[in-house]
Amino acid sequence: MSRTARDVVFVDGVRTPFGKSGKGLYAETRADDLIVRVIRELMRRNPGLPPERVDEVAIAATTQIGDQGLTLGRTAAILAGLPKSVPGYSIDRMCAGALTAATTAGAGISFGAYDVVIAGGVEHMGRHPMGEGVDPNPRIISEKLVDPSALVMGNTAENLHDRYPTITKERADAYAVRSQEKVAKAYADGKIQPDLVETLVRSAEKGFGLATQDEPPRPGTSMESLAGLKTPFRAHGNVTPGNAAGLNDGATGTLLMAEEVAEELGLDAKMRLVDFSFTGVEPEVMGVGPVPATEKLFARQGITIDDVGLIEINEAFAVQVLAFLEHFGIADDDARVNPWGGAIAIGHPLASSGGRLMMQLARQFAERPDVRYGITTMCVGLGMGGTILWENTNYEGGK
Active site residues: 95, 348, 379
Half-sphere exposure of 239 (CA within 13 A, CB side): 27
User: Please, is 6 exposed, middle or buried when counting C-beta atoms within 10 Å of its C-beta (0-12, 13-18, 19+)?
Assistant: middle
Residue 87 CA from chain centroid, whole number: 23
- C-alpha closest to that of 348 among 80, 62, 109: 62
In the chain, which residue ranges form alpha helices assigned H by DSSP?
A: 31-45, 72-79, 97-111, 139-142, 153-163, 169-188, 223-227, 259-265, 290-301, 318-327, 343-346, 353-367
Residue 314 CA from chain centroid, whole number: 6
**All residues at 6 or more sequence positions from 43 whose CB lies less than 8 Å from its CB, including other chains:** 49, 51, 80, 82
Q: What is the DSSP code string of 275-316?
A: EEEEEE--GGGGGGTHHHHHHHHHHHHT--GGG--EEEE--S
Q: What angle do CA 212, 216, 221 make, to 5 degrees?
A: 125
Residue type present at position 310: L
Q: For residue 133, is it left (φ>0), alpha (ψ between -120 and 50) or beta? A: left
Q: How far is CA 197 from CA 37, 38, 40, in A?
A: 8, 7, 10
Element (H, E) at 20: strand 19-20
- C-alpha closest to that of 254 among 375, 119, 148: 119
What angle, rounded to 10 degrees, do the helices at 318-327 and 290-301 form? 30
Q: How far is CA 56 from CA 107, 167, 237, 256, 327, in A?
A: 12, 43, 45, 10, 37
